Copies of this chain bind each other. A is one copy, B any other.
């Protein structure tokens, strides 16, 4: 997406869709410039084409979608048309004779601990995450020194429109975390968080807010190099242990290095009332761990398709999270927003986790927002909608 034709990319997508019939395929907007494949039709079917003249077998693997064999063509390419995919950004890889790779026709999106491919299926009429002719914030790359991890760490920071010119204005901050196997670029590249914020702010629906997107994997200074993102995908119990240890290290990094850096570097309102945290999937788990441990630092909390980290058991509001939910009135005074979301097409295990948390909080009388994204899976369309619902509720 190095160049986008005028009119929002989303509106354009919608326009193509209405002009297109089924079977009229056009290149996906997530392609590298000039790549004809992958391409899609108005029904959301995706045609994949891979050059693999000497291969015996080729498959496409949509991580939350079809896994289908490609058919060899006379010219040495392999092709397939998938069943219709729902709107949103769909990660995929291709598998050629057992080797799993990214499709060179697609932009690279960091997911699953690697640079994966993805195809964007436009949602007709949904322009809230497209670039529009409104004032644009800027995303900055920063490097900050982190003693807890013993290294320089990279983060992205969205600064709202007007930040450079309103030089006496200070802003609230949302810390916004990616999911497992992703990195700090996910919310911009995949999620288009910058355009979602630009559009909400331009419409007067959200307060101008700084959004900090950090790298959610962290290893204690001096710890062995074993536990990286790729090990996190192992068995559930190992995964939970790795995530717990990472959440602890990431909490130290965030509270001792990142937040002080952000407050020293940008014109923030540096108090708990003006600091929020949210995250998707693993990032939601980290958000609950960190914010509920440090309510002295945070007042707004969001869990997008991931929150409690209770490993399948029900929340005990008297005990869990140091008992912060034991006194709902005291909690409501401290936490201005507690927000949970899930896509209705997510795997049962994930839906059950969020729904049971929602129920336990409701039963305990803990005020919170619960949002279901209709028809979307454990994918970025769910999390774009989550962010779009979450941000307008912040900092009132």
A residues at B contact (CB < 8 Å): 1-6, 32-35, 50-58, 76, 96-102, 104-105, 107-108, 110, 113-115, 131, 133, 136, 138-143, 145-146, 149-154, 164, 167, 183-184, 188, 194, 215, 217-219, 228-231, 265-266
Interface residue from B35, B100, B104, B143 paired with A136 (Cβ < 8 Å): B143
Centre residue among A32, A99, A105, A150 by max chain B CB count within 10 A? A99
Q: CB distance B98 to A107 under 8 Å?
A: no
Interface residue from B3, B52, B105, B230 paired with A98 (Cβ < 8 Å): B52
Known: A2-B183, A100-B51, A138-B141. A230 touches B34 (CB 8 A): yes
Interface residue from B6, B55, B142 paired with A145 (Cβ < 8 Å): B6
Known: A6-B152, A150-B5. A55 touches B99 (CB 8 A): yes
Q: CB distance B99 to A229 under 8 Å?
A: no
A107 contacts which chain B residues (CB < 8 A)?
115
Give 23 CB contacts A-B under 8 Å. A2-B154, A2-B183, A3-B152, A32-B110, A32-B113, A32-B115, A33-B217, A34-B231, A35-B228, A51-B99, A53-B99, A54-B97, A55-B99, A56-B97, A96-B97, A100-B104, A101-B104, A104-B114, A108-B115, A138-B140, A140-B140, A164-B266, A167-B167
Interface residue from B51, B136, B140, B230 paired with A139 (Cβ < 8 Å): B140
A149 contacts which chain B residues (CB < 8 A)?
3
Question: Complex formed: what's the CA distance from A115 to B167 in Å?
Answer: 38
Q: CB distance A114 to B151 under 8 Å?
A: no
Question: Complex formed: what's the CA distance from A280 to B140 in Å?
Answer: 24
Question: Complex formed: what's the CA distance from A133 to B114 in Å?
Answer: 29
Q: CB distance B3 to A151 under 8 Å?
A: yes
Question: Complex formed: what's the CA distance from A215 to B32 in Å?
Answer: 13
Q: CB distance B104 to A131 under 8 Å?
A: no
Closest to A195 in B: B143
Closest to A4 in B: B152
Q: CB distance A34 to B113 under 8 Å?
A: yes
Closest to A217 in B: B33
Known: A2-B215, A97-B55, A139-B140. A33 touches B115 (CB 8 A): no
Q: How far is the CB of A74 from chain B (nearest CB, A)?
A: 14
A51 contacts which chain B residues (CB < 8 A)?
98-100
Interface residue from B57, B105, B110, B154 paired with A3 (Cβ < 8 Å): B154
Centre residue among A52, A150, A183 by max chain B CB count within 10 A? A52
List 20 additional contacts besides A32-B114, A34-B231, A167-B167; criterion CB under 8 Å: A2-B215, A3-B154, A4-B151, A6-B150, A34-B230, A35-B228, A51-B100, A52-B96, A53-B99, A54-B97, A55-B98, A56-B97, A96-B97, A96-B99, A96-B101, A97-B97, A138-B140, A139-B140, A141-B141, A164-B265
A151 contacts which chain B residues (CB < 8 A)?
3-6
A188 contacts which chain B residues (CB < 8 A)?
141
Q: How far is the CB of A30 from chain B (nearest CB, A)?
A: 12
Closest to A31 in B: B228
Question: Complex formed: what's the CA distance from A136 to B141 in Å?
Answer: 10
Q: How far is the CB of A231 from chain B (nearest CB, A)?
A: 6
Q: CB distance A76 to B98 under 8 Å?
A: yes
Q: CB distance B56 to A54 under 8 Å?
A: yes
Interface residue from B3, B104, B108, B231 paired with A215 (Cβ < 8 Å): B3
Closest to A183 in B: B2
Question: Complex formed: what's the CA distance from A1 to B215 in Å?
Answer: 11
Q: How far is the CB of A139 from chain B (nearest CB, A)?
A: 4
